[in-house]
Amino acid sequence: MNARRFLRPGLLALSCGPIAWDRKVRGPALCETKLSGKFVALNRHETDSVQLPPPATVTLYKGPCPSAWLHARVAEITAANPWLGGRLRTDPQSGKLAAWVPDEPQAEGVEDLFEVITLANEAAIMECESAQFIVKAGTDQTATDGTSICRIAVVTEPTQHLWKLHVSLSHAVADAQTLYMVYGMLDERAEVRPLEVERVSFNPATCLGQVPFHGKWLFFVVRRFCFFLTGLFKDTRQARPVIRVRYVREEWLRDQKSKHIAEVDAMYVSSSDLLTSWFLSVTQPACGVMAMDMRDRMPGLGKAHAGVYTTLLMFYPEEYKSAANIRRALTRQSPACMPDGSCQAPGSSSRFAFVTAWHSNYCEVAFNGCTQLSHCPVTSVWKDYDAAQFPCAVIFRPSAGTLAMCTVSGEELPPGPLGEAVPGTETAS
């Protein structure tokens, strides 16, 4: 395969901080706009993250669509958070990609980030591909001055009694925590509040103080680079990924938790620990990677900080086969996850796998007279993803009290903890 294909956004899902090899993405200069504003400097790993598929959710509702009310609420949210109406542009002083925030967000119009699209009928709503209603990634996001870093799109039909709500932000300015903070403000009962947009200095490779640069990071970089070099001479054709969005079976979780014996730094195992261990075990990567939100784990960094503040915990095969090791890594905030802290060896596979958990961020967004039918990540962003080499999974809540998992893999996975498909979700194979 060629370098351009390797560097497409999908394959950068495991990139973090200085590990992205993509070309520098530059945005429009300030002189291209007549509006006044300011630049907010981004952390290095955030400018690399612009190439990643944006964090995005789609929620299906039955009931009268409150499009006028949503328009007013988006205006209120943007007034409190002008950066949502901003753009990714090159700061002329630093020469680096930054978030340009207008002084008067209303001047750009709520229509820049909120829209209502009416399709022919209910069938069209259920069949439409959600990726067309979210923000773009990479140069598609930065090359056009009129593309905002946030997009909220309602897709409905003529009677407006079945509709989807899409919420997305550029990965350069938001991770899942930031996405759900904005999403939650759309609820009729929620308080609209400003988020902190000025960045806290953050480097995902060094934020774990006791292990400033663990050997796993070095393995991660070298292996990715070797894959890139050997891939230059391979056929670029690949099978479409197998995308499945399924509920997690509660009985499986109860059974697995009942079998756990308390260990040092792993007195219990959570649902996400068990699901992460299961997914990595069935995909068998040389190294499994899990995202960890560092908010409230670092001084001066809290839940109200908008941005990308996640690091990566990495697990070798001997480590990820046990959910207790996943829990221990989170407890210790360290890649040294074995009970005795010993180092293990990476697997022989060329494959990496990635797991991220969104379920702890979930909040219900309710509207008068409407029933939420489903809620999930936008999965169609992965339709061209090289899932054979980089399988990935998202743990999320379709509704309060339920748990589901979106898996993107090169082949059909055994059912294991996963049960019925979440209704109204996009799948591919």
pLDDT in tens, 18-64: 333 233 444 444 334 456 889 999 999 998 888 888 999 999 999 99
Q: Are residues 292 and 365 in the same domain?
A: yes
Give the residue-averaged pLDDT of 289-312. 95
CB contact at 8 A, 171 and 308: yes
pLDDT at position 6 is: 35
pLDDT at position 320 is: 96
pLDDT at position 237 is: 52
Percent of the chain with pLDDT over 90: 65
pLDDT at position 238 is: 67
pLDDT at position 184 is: 98
Nearest partner of 393 among 265, 268, 209, 246, judged by Cα: 246
Looking up residue 361, the CATH number of its domain turns out to be 3.30.559.10
Q: Are residues 161 and 258 in the same domain?
A: no
Token digits of residue 363: 């909040």
- Distance from C-alpha of 425 to C-alpha of 377, rounded to nearest angstrom: 9
DSSP 305-353: B-S--EEEEEE-HHHHT-HHHHHHHHHHTSS--STT----PPPSSS-EE
- Is the pLDDT at 4 greater than 70? The verdict is no
- Distance from C-alpha of 429 to C-alpha of 424, rounded to nearest angstrom: 16
- In the chain, how many domains are there? 2
- Distance from C-alpha of 148 to C-alpha of 424, rounded to nearest angstrom: 27
pLDDT tens digits, one per residue of 200-245 = 999 888 888 655 346 777 777 777 666 666 554 555 556 889 999 9
Token digits of residue 224: 């990715």
Tell whether 285 is covered by a domain: yes
Q: Are residues 116 and 230 in the same domain?
A: no
Give the residue-averaged pLDDT of 410-421. 96
Q: Are residues 167 and 271 in the same domain?
A: no
Query: pLDDT averaged over the chain?
Result: 86
Domain that holds residue 319: 215-421
Q: Are residues 132 and 176 in the same domain?
A: yes
- Distance from C-alpha of 206 to C-alpha of 283, rounded to nearest angstrom: 28
Write down the H helix ranges in 7-154. 44-49, 67-80, 105-108, 122-127, 139-142
pLDDT tens digits, one per residue of 323-364 = 999 999 999 988 888 888 787 888 888 889 999 999 999 999
Give the residue-averaged pLDDT of 128-155. 83
**How many CA atoms, within 13 angstroms, populate the side-chain half-sphere of residue 30?**
17
Percent of the chain with pLDDT over 70: 83
Token digits of residue 47: 């400018």
Token digits of residue 340: 């005795």
Q: Tell me the pTM.
A: 0.88
Q: Are residues 339 and 228 in the same domain?
A: yes
Give the residue-averaged pLDDT of 138-157. 80
pLDDT tens digits, one per residue of 87-137 = 899 999 999 999 999 887 654 568 789 999 999 999 999 999 999 999 988
Last residue of a domain, one of 184, 199, 230: 184
378 or 428, greater pLDDT: 378
pLDDT at position 143 is: 66
Tell whether 296 is covered by a domain: yes
